[in-house]
Amino acid sequence: MTISKKSKLKTKKGTALIVAIFMVAIIGSAAIGINAVALRQINISETYNNGLVAYYSAESGIEEGLLRFRFDKNAEVPKIIDDATVTSDLLNRQPLNVFRNYLAKPTMRTNQSDNGTVAGYSQSDRQQIYDLSVFYKQKFAGVNTNGDGKFDASDLAAVDLNSIPADYNYIVQKDNQKSYTISQTASPQDNNIYLFWRWLKPCSGAGYSAHALEVKLKLDTSTLQNNQAGIFKDEYTGLFKDTTCDSIANANNASIVAGTTNVYSAGELKAALEISALNVKEMSIKPIGNTAGSGDGVIFGFVQGLDFKTKVAGPTTTVNSIGYFFGASRQITADISRQTGTILDLFNYVIYKGGN
């Protein structure tokens, strides 16, 4: 049986058509795959670029916060009008709102006052924005050991003196001093200061002499009238010794808080130093006495007002900035020690933390 030339030609044309279709399909699939990869890379590149711009936006907020701190150690952003503001922060520190700044090309402009009412932000808005908050106040100074959200003498009693955490902020070694800004409110009872402390070393053993806690209160004398000048001093000092120690000159006995293990208190500090008529603006504590190199000192904590309405200064000022740009956000946090003593050392004591 023979096949005609016409039939052979038809067969070759059919095979070529099938091969062509397969080739087009293969090339098309490859093109679609390459296009998908290219689009993915473009999206990744755009997201990265947007994130970078958002990071620099957040960095601008950090710079503003550090600048405000430089000129005012007690700067708050936004300004806290009500010290009883409740927030979601575990230590009840961070302000309820934030200060939002829109970064425009011509100038830097804001849409609000320092009191911080957050405005909306569109994800499609190609504009650099940062949300800034600067805060240092918290419900109490001290470590809430038992987890009830408050601080009292029982929290100090629960501390194991043989294994104090390395990041325990509320500890002062012998002859060192820590100072805290004291808040003031319109309610006199909320300005009362209750200080608790516990000695790191017991008042016993060979070569051990007496020790005491020196407490200094600086007063706000701005409300004094001219005829009151000389009645009140700017600073009052109290010296409270361990009741189990030998006597120490000019020192008063501190009270052991009932139901605790060697935790002491002076009661209401202003009343103990007989200055209850004026408000305190700063408190300093300094353990003294004992012998050199004894490793002595105190762990401590204090509250202002027994119902925790008045916030007190924490060990650090926290500057928190979140930058936004076209759907991307970056967060930078700076923790500044409030115990460094000089603004010249500021950048030696700033710890930055990044986030997404």
Domain locations in the chain as residue ranges: 9-139+311-356, 140-310
Give yes or no for residue 183 having a pLDDT over 90: no
State how far the Cα of 287 lies from the Cα of 307, in Å rounded to an integer: 28
- Specify the pLDDT at position 82: 54
Q: What is the mean pLDDT of residues 86-107?
A: 61
- Specify the pLDDT at position 62: 92
State how far the Cα of 54 lies from the Cα of 326, in Å rounded to an integer: 8
Q: Could you write out the three-class secondary structure of the chain?
A: CCCCHHHHHHHHHHHHHHHHHHHHHHHHHHHHHHHHHHHHHHHHHHHHHHHHHHHHHHHHHHHHHHHHHHHCCCCCECCCCCCCCCCCCCCCCCCCCCEEEEECCCCEEECCCCCCCCCCCCCCCCCEEEEEEEEEEECCECCCCCCCCCCCHHHHHCCCCCCCCCCCCCEEECCCCEEEECCCCCCHHHHCEEEEEEECCCCCCCCCCCEEEEEEEEECCCCCCHHHECCECCEEEEEEECCCCCCCCCCEECEECCCCCCEEEEEEHHHHCCCCCCCEEEEEEEEEECCCCCCCEEEEEEEECCCCCCCEEEEEEEEEEEEEECCEEEEEEEEEECCCCCHHHHHHCEEEEEEC
Q: Are 205 and 296 in contact (CB under 8 A)?
A: no
- Specify the pLDDT at position 349: 43
Give yes or no for residue 115 having a pLDDT over 60: no
Give yes or no for residue 13 having a pLDDT over 60: no
- Specify the pLDDT at position 49: 82
- Specify the pLDDT at position 191: 84
- Specify the pLDDT at position 11: 57
- Specify the pLDDT at position 106: 44
Mean residue pLDDT across the chain: 75
State how far the Cα of 67 lies from the Cα of 75, in Å rounded to an integer: 10
The answer for residues whose C-beta is within 8 angstroms of residue 146's C-beta and 6 or more apart is 154, 155, 158
Give yes or no for residue 336 having a pLDDT over 50: yes
User: Greater confidence, 80 or 313?
Assistant: 313
User: Greater confidence, 308 or 83?
Assistant: 308
pLDDT digits (tens, 9 = 90+) for 281-295: 899 999 987 665 566
pLDDT digits (tens, 9 = 90+) for 126-182: 678 888 888 888 888 888 888 888 898 999 998 888 888 877 889 998 888 998 888
In this predicted structure, which of 3-12, 30-39, 199-208, 216-225 has the lowest mean pLDDT? Answer: 3-12
pLDDT digits (tens, 9 = 90+) for 34-88: 666 666 665 656 667 888 888 998 999 999 899 888 888 888 888 765 554 545 5
- Specify the pLDDT at position 168: 85
* Maximum Cα–Cα distance across the chain: 136
- Specify the pLDDT at position 223: 67
The answer for residues whose C-beta is within 8 angstroms of residue 63's C-beta and 6 or more apart is none
State how far the Cα of 244 lies from the Cα of 211, in Å rounded to an integer: 10
Give yes or no for residue 197 having a pLDDT over 90: yes
